[in-house]
Structure 1
Amino acid sequence: MASQPCSSKALSSVINQEFLNRSTNIESARFLKRILQKSEEEGKLSKTIPSDLDRTHFYTGLDRRMFFTQYTDLKATEIKDIERSMIHERLIAFYINANASSLPPRPDTTPTTKNLFSALYGKIPHYVDIRMFRKCLAKLGYVWLRIFKGYIVMERPSVTFERYYYLKDIVRYREENRDIFYVAETVLTGLFNYYSFKEYNELMKTAVNARIEIIQKGLIKNIYAVSKSGVYALKTIDHFTTSNFANWVINELLPVLPEKSVVVIQKYEHHDDVIKKPTLFSIKSDIIAWLELNDVPYSEEMSKCELVDLVDAYTSESDEISKIENSLKLKGHELLRLPACIEEMTTSKHFFELIKLNASKVNVNHDQVLKMITESVSLQTFEKFDRHVADAEKDTLHADIKMDQVFDNVVAAFQKVRLKDAEDSEVPLSDSD
C-alpha cells in the first residue's frame, strides 16, 4: 500500500531540520524541488503515471513523505519571484535604524545577507535557502560592500541613480499637472489566464506546462496605455516586436494623447528602437535609414563614403536617435523609461491585477474580454489607482533622499562592527554565480 503524506506541520519541522539547516542537505532539497517541477511538467505530456507525487516517487525511489512539504511549497509559490520591494524596504530599515540609534551598531543589526534573510523569514518561499537568496539579491541589483570583517548588502549605485532621476522627473511632471500614461502589454490565453508581457516571456522560456497551454490555445496579445482617466489606444497585435511597438505608439497612442502628456514605457528589448549614428563600418542600408530618419535627401547611386559624408554634414551630433521619443517630443510630450527595480509602480499594474481577477468571470467572446472589463471600470477606480502610484513614487523618492543623507555615516559606523570571518564569504562575483 502506498505511503500517505503525514500532516504538513509535523513534516515541515522534519524537512526543515533535515534539508534546510545544513548546506549539503540544501542541495538535496533543491534536487527534490527540481524533480517535482519536471514531474509536474511531464504530467501534461504523459498519463503513464498521472500523479506528480507518484511520478517523483518513481524517479527517485524516495518515500512520498520526504518531499510532501517541498511539493506544497512549490505549488504555493509556482513561478513566483521574491518581491524586490519587500527586500528593499527591509534593507533600508537596517540603514535608517542604524543612523537613528545612539548606540554603536551590533553584528545582528548590520545589513548582511544572513541578517536580511532572517528578517524576511516567512515572507519568502520556504524552499529558498540563503545561497539561493544571495544569488537572487545579485540578480535584483544588489552588491556587497567590504567592511572591516565581512560584507554588507547595498543597492548597486547605478540602480539607485536610475530610479532617483526617474522619480524626480515623474514627481515634477505630476506637480505640473501633466497627464501620465503607463504602457502595458498583456496576453490572454484560451483558458482565460492572463499574463503580463514579462510573465508570458518567462513562461515561454522556462515552463513546459505553460508553453503547452500558451501554444495550443488561442492567444490574444494586447497593448494599451493606462492613465487616471482610463484605458487608451487598446489594440490587439500579432507579435511583440520593435516595429509593432513603435507603430502603435506613433499611429495609435500619439493621436489620442492630451497636450503635454508623459508616456512611461518599460525597458523591454522590443521597446528599444534606438538607432545609432552610422559610421564607415556600418552597412549601406543602416546609413540610408539614418538619413531618412533625419530627412536628409540622398541618391541611390551614392557610395558609402558619400553617404557617410552626408551623415556628418547634415545630421545632429547625437550618437543615437529614438524614433518613438522624437515623435513624442515633436508633439510636446515626454517619454520616460521605467527602471526595472520599480517596474510594478504603475497604474497599468493595478489595472492588470483587476483584469486577472475578472478575466474568467466575464461572459463574452474570448477576444472581447479586455474591452468588456475596461468598459466596466469606473473613472473613480482609475483615479484611485493613480493616487496610489503617485503616493508610492513620492515615498520611494523620499526614502532615496534619506538614504543618500545617512549612507556615508552609517557605512562608517558599520566599519567598526566585528563580524565573523566567514560572514558572506560566498558573495556572488556575477549574477550567474
Structure 2
Amino acid sequence: MLSRTDLRGGALSAADLRRALPRGGTDVDSVLATVSPVVAAIRERGAAAALEYGQTFDRVTPDSVRVPAERLSDALDAVDPTVRAALEESIRRARIVHSDQRRGTVRTDVVPGGSVTEKWVPIARVGLYVPGGNAVYPSSVVMNVVPAQEAGVGSLVVASPPQVDHGGWPHPTILAACALLGVTEVWAVGGAQAVALLTYGGTDTDGAELAPVDLITGPGNIYVTAAKRLCRSIVGIDSEAGPTEIAILADGEADVVAVAADLISQAEHDVLAASVLVTDSADLADRVDTEVTRQVETTKHRDRVIAALGGPQSGIVLVDDIDHGVAVVDAYAAEHLEIQTRDAAQVAARISNAGAIFVGRYSPVSLGDYCAGSNHVLPTSGSARHSSGLSVQTFLKGVHIVDYDRAALEAVAGHVVALADAEDLPAHGDAVKVRFAEVPSAGSVA
C-alpha cells in the first residue's frame, strides 16, 4: 500500500534529500483568486458579507455571528460526562506545561548608568480559529485557548464554522470546551470569512460590535491558509499550516502493530495527510506494509485513509542505519516525529527538526493530540526547520526599554556619531551631539 523510497548506499545532500523524500502540501497560490474577493467583501461590509459567504459555503446562516451565552452553558450541561472529564484532564495537563513557558522581565545593565530591559507583553486581543470539516476538534479549543490565557491575553474570541445540524451554531462539543475554559466570546463563522472578519471586525445582527483582533492562530484548510496570507499585513498569524503529517523513525525491533496504527491514525485526518516510515529494516518495512493493509480494512474512515496512505506525501523510506535515519528525519522536519528504536531517548536527543518528538512505544502522537500536556498546533510542510509550535510565546511580544543617563550616553556618543557618519545618516549623530552642546536659551540675544 505504501510506496517505497530507497536511500540506502548513497549519501545525499540536504538539497537532494528535500527532493527525494515523500512530500505533499497544498498550492495556496491556486486559491488566492477565490479567497481575495471574500476578504475584500468582508473588509468593506463586515459581518453581513461574512454571513452571506457562510450561507454559500456552510449552507446555514446563524441568527447572529456571536454565539449567545446560553448556547455555551447549555452545551456544557449536555456534553457527555466522559468527554467532559477527558477535556478537563486535557486542560489541566496543558496548563501545567504552558504555565512553565511564561517569560519574566529581564534587565541588563550594559554599563554603569545604561540599561536595557526586556519586558514581555501579552497581545491585546487574539482570534483563535477552530476548524470543522471532517472531524470535531474540541482539542483544538484547548490547544489555542490555554496558551493564550497563560500568556495573560486580556481579550480572545474563538471562531468556528456554523453547523447545519446544530441550528447554525458551532458544534456543541466545541461550545462545551469553550465554556469549560471560561471563553465567553465565540463566533459562528468559519473558513476564509472567519479570518477576514477576525481581521477587520464588523457589526453583528443586533448592532453589537465585533471587535477586530491583533493575532490569529489555529489550523484550517487551504482557504483558511490563503486568507491568513492575505490578512497577515493587518494582523499577525501563527503560521500557514499545511496538511498534517507524521514521520516514524523505527528499527527492526519496533512494534509493527503500533507503527501501523500510528500511520493510520494520522492518515484519517485528511486525504492529504502524510504518513512516512523511515527504517533501516527492510523486513520491518514489509511487515508494517502488511499490517497497515490489515488494519485499514476495519478502520472507520477507510476510504480517506487509503487515499492519504496512497498519495505522494506518504510512504516508506529505507535507510542504511539509524544514523542515516536521523539525518533523513532531520531533513524531513516532520510536524510529528515518533522515535521507535532501541535507546529511543538518546536518538530523540539528536533530532533538531520536528514540531514535536514522541519517544518510545508508549508516547504515540495521539497522546500529544489530547492529553500529553504538549501543544498539537505544530509547524508543517518542513517548516519545523525554522518554526515552533503554538505556545505561550506565540501570544507575547518582547519590548525593549532603553534607559541611559547623561554620563552613559556621553561615554558612547563618539561611537554613535562614527556609525551614523559611516551610514551617511549625520542627523542621527547630531541627535546625540545636541545633548552636550551649549545651546542658547529661547529668547536670548545672539
TM range (shorter): under 0.3
TM-score relative to the length of structure 2: 0.25
Point out the structure with the larger helix share. Answer: 1
- Between Structure 1 and Structure 2, the one with more strand by share is 2
